[in-house]
Amino acid sequence: MSEARILFGFHAVLSRMRQHGSSIQEIIIDQDRVDARMRDLLEMAKSQNIRVIQAERHRLDGFIGAHGRHQGVIARVIETPMPYKDIHDVLESDLDEPPFFLILDGVQDPHNLGACLRVADAMGVHAIIAPKDRSVGLNGTVRKVASGAAETVPFISVTNLARTIRELKEAGVYIVGTTMDAPGSLHNTKLEGPIALVMGAEGDGMRRLTQETCDALITIPMFGSVQSLNVSVASGIALYEIRRQRVLAGGKA
């Protein structure tokens, strides 16, 4: 069933117009914002016959509350189902390369999830998998930070993450988890074929049960004084290495 949602911020709204403009019911803009960025958005909306409503800024503030900065633009959209609803949809689809997943074990910061969606889209990840409990979902802030990637990368919420990982392993997917004290290194680990990269939550990292279900644990080498990385930054580094090895092995660039 389709579901109405709110998108806010220029990146999120413009990306939705480019990718699926017909899903936008209407756009509400700050009546006092008349800069070039707003004019470009209005021109695109007009070209797609999307209704635009002008409103006072405090009305836009009321739509999103304390969830984030709307930049003077909000869109009401009808969500359409993603092509993949669970991992089996991905595994059984006609992919042009081995399956490639990012698993987020308990990421709760919407800015981190939004950034993870962006790097996952950039590196060609087929789906992000996360537990339903103790994890942030696809709220308005996530979609804004994702800059359109929330509409291109399937986000699969699962009830039991450990069981889902075991199902992936049974399907031939290699599960690689990242921890600070892992015996293996990102630089010297073979990361080819069907693979799922597991990243832990902010601060606490992966849960013990999640670690125990991984095929291998690796660390991202650090060469400076900082001892840890933001989960989205770490995801970007590790996903890029996986993509780099796929390209060298003859996969898609």
Task: Give the domain range for residue 48.
Answer: 3-79
For the annotated binding site for S-adenosyl-L-methionine, the residues are: 200, 220, 229
Residue 116 and residue 62 in one domain: no
| C-alpha separations of 162 from 9, 32, 51, 208 in Å | 35, 50, 45, 10
**253 lies in some domain:** no
- Structural domain ending residue among the three candidates 60, 79, 98: 79
Q: What is the pTM of this model?
A: 0.73
Check whether residue 98 and residue 218 sit in a common domain.
yes
For residues 211 and 237, give the distance between their C-alpha atoms in angstroms, rounded to a whole number: 20
Bridge partners, 100 (sequence order): 195
Identify the bridge partners of residue 101 per DSSP, sorted by sequence position.
Answer: 127, 196
pLDDT tens digits, 79-119: 665 556 788 888 888 888 999 999 999 899 999 999 999 99
Residue 117 sits in the same domain as residue 69: no
The model's pLDDT over 44-67, given as tens digits with 9 standing for 90+, comes to 999 999 999 999 988 888 887 755
For 44, counting Cβ atoms within 10 Å of its Cβ (0-12 exposed, 13-18 middle, 19+ buried), the class is middle
Question: Residues annotated in the binding site, as ranges?
Answer: 200, 220, 229
